[in-house]
Amino acid sequence: MPNYVVGHKVPDSDSICSAIALSYLKTELGEPTVPARLGELSPETMFILDRFGFEKPELKLSYAGESLYIVDHSDRVQGPDDIDDATILGIIDHHKLGDITTSTPLECWIRPVGCTNTIIKMMYDFEGIEIPKDIAGAMMMAILSDTVLFKSPTCTTADKKCVEALAEIAGIEDYQELGMDMFKVKSAVEGTPARDLVLRDFKDFNMKGQLVGIGQLEVIDLAMLDEMKDGLHADLQSLKEEGNRHSVILLLTDIMKEGSELLVVSDDTSVIEKAFDVTLTENRVWIDGILSRKKQVVPPLQDSFK
Amino acid sequence: MPNYVVGHKVPDSDSICSAIALSYLKTELGEPTVPARLGELSPETMFILDRFGFEKPELKLSYAGESLYIVDHSDRVQGPDDIDDATILGIIDHHKLGDITTSTPLECWIRPVGCTNTIIKMMYDFEGIEIPKDIAGAMMMAILSDTVLFKSPTCTTADKKCVEALAEIAGIEDYQELGMDMFKVKSAVEGTPARDLVLRDFKDFNMKGQLVGIGQLEVIDLAMLDEMKDGLHADLQSLKEEGNRHSVILLLTDIMKEGSELLVVSDDTSVIEKAFDVTLTENRVWIDGILSRKKQVVPPLQDSFK
C-alpha cells in the first residue's frame, strides 16, 4: 500500500505540484508514494500540468487507515476530513503553524518562504536526489504562481534562487514570459460561474472559534471583473450561510497595480475594518499593496479576532 | 533585543544543549540569539555543562513581546505560559506534533529521530556552519542521553552517525565510556527528595482534554530504587492532586535490563491497563522493553484516551 501526499482543499498549483514533486522524491528514497488531491483543479493548474505532461493526481477525499504527507497547509479545516484516522508521516508547508496534531513523531519541513515547492527543492538537495526536468518545470511554475512573479511580499531570496535553478533544470529560458502566460490563463474569468471563481482559491480559517473563509482571485487587470463584482459579492453571502461562517472575504487582486479589492460579508464587519484600519463602502474596499492572503490578510485578521 | 531559544519545562539535557547549540548557530547566521531555560537543571545536565565548560542558560519564564525558537517540544503545556504573547520564529523537535499554533509563518525542523540535537546537527550542515568543539561535545552527550546510549527504540541510524561525527569534532575517543559516566551521575538518587526525583524528567500531556503527567527516572540498576519506591509512589498522588491531573505515571527505567516499572496514580487505571495490555498490581507493573516515554508510552496512552 503506497503512502500519499495531499495538499489542501480547493487545491491550488502549489498543492498539486508539491504533491507531485514530493511523491517522486519519497518514491526515489525507497518509500512508494503517490500524489493525490482534495478537489477539482483550476485552469491555472491545468495549464501547468498540460505544459509539463502530467496527469491530474488521483482525486481522493478519505485517508482513514492510510499514511500520508500533508503539503501546503497545517490547518485541520483545510485538510482531509478524516485525518484523525490517518497516520501523518510529515508536513511540508510555508504558512503559519495550524492546529493539526499527531500522536507519533513525524517529519516537518516548514519555512517562512513564498512557496512549498521552494522547500521541496531544499529536500531534494538535502537528500541528494536529482529533480527530473518535467517536475522541475512544475515546481518552478508553482513558485511563480505563489509569489505572483516575485511581486508578493511573501517572496524571499530563496524563492527567486530556486526558480532560477529549476528553470535551468527544466531548460526554460524565459520563465517570466511563461509565468505571464500562466497569469493570463488565471485571469480568464469570462463565462465562469461566480461560485467557481469564488472557490478557485478559497481557504477556511478557524479564528478564535469562528469560521472565516477567504478567497482570492488574481487577475492581470481588475477592470475585467467590473461587471462580475455584484454577482461575486452575492455569492459570498450564500457561501457564508451554507458554511455557517462568521465572515467570507474575497480578495480581487490586480497583480499589475499590486493591490486588492476586498469584498466582504460578515456577522461583524467592524472586525474586518479594524484588522486593516479601513472603512468599508458597500462592504468593499481597495487596499494598495495587498497581494498576499497569507502574509497580509490572515495575520491582521487573526489579531483582530483575538 | 536578542531572540531566545528555549526548551520545555523541567528541562532535560536535550532541551538545554539544543538551546545552546541553536543559539550559537543563529547568532553565527547574523541573528543574535541567546539560550534560556524554563526550570532547574538535573545533575545529568550539570555534568554535561561542567564537562564542556558552559554556564547555565538564563532562567527565563516569561516571553511576552519577545521572539523565540522552541526546541524539544511543540505542546502548549510544556512551553512558556505566556507563549501566546510571544512570536515563535521556529520549532526544532523530534516528538509528535503538539498543539502550539502561530499566527505567522515560521521555521520548523521536526524529524522522527532520537534527539533534537541530531536535527540541529543537520541544520549546521545545511547552513554550512562549523560546530565549535565544546558545542559538539554537549550535543553528543544530549543524543547519548535521549537515546539511552543507543538502546532506546527511538534511536535511529541518523542519531548514531551524528554522535560519531560530533565525537570526532569534540575530540572524544570513547563516547560510550563518557556516556556511561553520565548515566552513573543520573543514577545517583540517594539523599534526593522524592519530589525532586519525580520532577527530574517530568512532562505533562493533554490527552483528549485530560492532563496526564509522565515522569521518567533512568538508572543503571533498578534495585537502587527499592527502598524509595513507596515514597515516590506517595508523591505521585500529591502531584496528581496539586495539578488537577487525571493521571500521573512514573517510569522507573532500568537501562541495563532494558525495561521499566510503571508507578501509577489515576482517576481511571483501566485506561492505563488498556494502553499497555497489562494488569496493575498495587498500581505498579514491570514492562520488558519499555525505555522510551515518547515512542512506547505516550502513543498507546493517547490511543487509549481516545
Given a cut of 90, whether residue A246 has pLDDT beyond it is: yes
Out of B105, B294, B295, whose CB is closest to A294?
B105
Spatial CB neighbours of A229, under 8 Å, sequence gap ≥ 6: A252, A263, A284
What would the grid cell of residue B50 be? Answer: 561542567
Distance CA B58, CA B66 (A): 15
Hey, what's the cell of B27? 547568532
Q: B62 phi and psi, to 5 degrees?
A: -115, 135
pLDDT tens-place string over residues A65-113: 999 999 999 999 999 999 999 999 999 999 999 999 998 899 999 999 9
Q: Which of B97, B122, B303 sits opposite A102 (nearest CB)?
A: B97
- Predicted confidence (pLDDT) per residue in A2-19, tens digit: 999 999 999 999 999 999
Nearest by CB to B105, from A96, A105, A109: name it: A96
pLDDT higher than threshold 90 for residue B211:
yes
pLDDT band at B103 (very low <50, low <70, confident <90, very high): confident
CB-CB neighbors (< 8 A) of B3 in chain A:
none
Query: What per-residue confidence (pLDDT) applies to A17?
Result: 98
Q: For residue B80, is it left (φ>0), alpha (ψ between -120 and 50) or beta?
A: beta
**Residue of B101, B116, B306 to mutate when probing chain A, most A C-beta within 10 A:** B101
| CATH numbers and ranges of domains, chain B | 3-184 (3.90.1640.10), 194-305 (3.10.310.20)
Mean local confidence (pLDDT), A16-44: 97
What pLDDT is recorded for position A189? 87
Secondary structure letter of residue B201 according to DSSP? T
If residue B199 lies in a helix (H) or strand (E), which one and from where to where?
helix B194-199
Instruction: Round to whole Å and give the CA distance between B169 and B175.
Output: 12
Q: Model confidence over B22-45: pLDDT tens digits? A: 999 999 999 999 999 999 999 999
Residues 282-301 of chain A with CB under 8 A from chain B are 294-295, 298-299
Alpha-carbon torsion, ordered A190, A245, A61, A124, to 10 deg? 80
Phi/psi-derived region of residue A289, left when phi > 0, alpha when psi is between -120 and 50, beta in every other case: left
Statement: residue B112 has pLDDT above 90 = yes
Per-residue pLDDT, B190:
84
Read off the pLDDT of each residue in B140-150 and give the average, rounded to a whole number.
97
The pLDDT > 90 percentage for chain B reads: 95
Confidence of residue B306 (pLDDT cuts 50, 70, 90): confident
**Tens-place pLDDT, residues A35-61:** 999 999 999 999 999 999 999 999 999
Mean pLDDT over B150-157 rounds to: 95
A260-285 pLDDT tens trace: 999 999 999 999 999 999 999 999 99
Contact A103 B303 (CB under 8 A): yes
Residue B188 pLDDT greater than 90, yes or no: no
Cα–Cα distance between A129 and A37 in angstroms, integer?
24
Please give the pLDDT value at position B191. Answer: 86
Q: How far apart are CA A259 and CA A144, in angstroms?
A: 17
- What the block records as the C-alpha cell of A200 is 478557485
CB burial readout B283-306, b (16+ within 10 A) else e: bebeeeebbbbbbbbbbbbbebbe
- What percent of chain A has a predicted confidence (pLDDT) above 70? 100
Position A305 scores a pLDDT of 94
For residues B147 and B135, give the distance between their C-alpha atoms in angstroms, rounded to a whole number: 18
Cα B116 to Cα B72: distance, rounded to the nearest angstrom: 6
Over the stretch A162-203, which tens digit does the pLDDT of each residue have? Answer: 999 999 999 999 999 999 999 999 998 888 999 999 998 999
Contact A105 B99 (CB under 8 A): no
Give residue B189's pLDDT. Answer: 87
CB neighbours (10 Å) of residue B160?
15
Q: Which of B31, B104, B119, B154 should we substitute to test contact with A (largest number of A Cβ atoms within 10 Å)?
A: B104
What pLDDT is stored for residue A207 in this prediction? 94
Cell of A35: 500524489
pLDDT at A242: 95
At A147, the pLDDT band (50, 70, 90 cuts) reads very high
Of A101, A112, A302, the CB nearest to B106: A112
Query: B105 CB near a chain A CB, below 8 Å?
Result: yes
So what's the pLDDT on residue A190?
A: 84
Do A11 and A45 form a contact (C-beta atoms < 8 A)? Answer: yes
Contact between A251 and A233 (Cβ < 8 Å): no
Sort out which chain A residues have CB atoms less than 8 A from B104's CB and list them: 96, 112, 295, 299
What is the helix (H) or strand (E) element at residue B22, kind and residue range?
A: helix B13-28
Average pLDDT over residues A198-226: 93
Torsion on CA atoms A141, A142, A145, A150, rounded to nearest 10 = -80
Q: What percent of chain A has pLDDT over 90?
A: 95
